[in-house]
Amino acid sequence: MPLKSYAFKDDPKLQACLVKDSAHVLLGHKGIHVRRIQAALRALDGAVIDPAELKTDTYGKSTAAAVLAYKRKRQIIAHSRQSQADDIVGKMTIEAMDKELLTATLCPPSNGRRCACPRNSRMMVRYARKAEPSLYLLSPQQLAELTRNIA
C-alpha cells in the first residue's frame, strides 16, 4: 500500500523506502526526502534537529537521534532481525510516520468544539504555520480544517 500522507505521498524516494530495503534512509543521506522526514519528526515529536542538517537536508547525527527516539517511543523494532530500535528509516518507520501524519491531519472534532486529537496534531498545526510551503505536512484544506477543530 503506498504512502498516503500529504507530506510523503508524492516523494518517490520515500515511496521506495516503503517497499525496498535498499531504499532505507540512513546516516549521510541528503535530499528533499530527508527534509520531509525531518519536518515530520519535528511536527510529530517536537524533535530538535541541528540547524546545519536542516539547511543542507542531511540525515546527520541529530536526525538519526530523532529517528531513534521516535522508534523507541513507539517500539518500532523489526523483531526478526533486531532486539532494539535503530536509527534507520525503513519500511516500518516510514509507514508508522505516514499513518501518524494521516491520523493527526484527519481527526474529527469532538462535541463539535475542540479537537480530540493527540497533542501531536496541535504541534503539527503550529509547525505547519511556520514551515515554508514546500515543507507543509498538511494540504491547505487539511490545515484549515484541523485549525478549526483545534481552536
Domain-located, residue 67: yes
Domain-located, residue 127: yes
Does residue 115 register a pLDDT over 90? Answer: no
For residue 114, what pLDDT is reported?
46
Q: Is the dihedral of CA 13, 131, 29, 119 positive or negative?
A: negative
pLDDT interval class at 108 (50, 70, 90):
very low
Domain-located, residue 4: no
Domain-located, residue 57: yes
> Could you tell me the CA-to-CA distances from 32 to 10, 17, 38, 88 in Å, in that order?
11, 14, 10, 17
Domain-located, residue 7: no
CA dihedral in degrees (45, 49, 54, 58; nearest 10)? -100
Does residue 122 register a pLDDT over 70? Answer: no
Domain that holds residue 143: 12-150
Domain-located, residue 136: yes
Section 102-125 average pLDDT: 53
Mean pLDDT of the chain: 80
Question: How many distinct structural domains can be found in the chain?
Answer: 1
Domain-located, residue 2: no
Domain-located, residue 142: yes
Q: How far apart are CA 20 and CA 31, in angstroms?
A: 18
CB-CB contact of 31 with 38 (8 Å): no
Q: Which of 105, 2, 116 is nearest to 44 (CA)?
A: 105
For residue 67, what pLDDT is reported?
97
pLDDT tens readout for residues 32-61: 999 999 988 988 888 899 999 999 999 999
pLDDT tens readout for residues 54-89: 999 999 999 999 999 999 999 999 888 888 999 999
For residue 51, what pLDDT is reported?
93
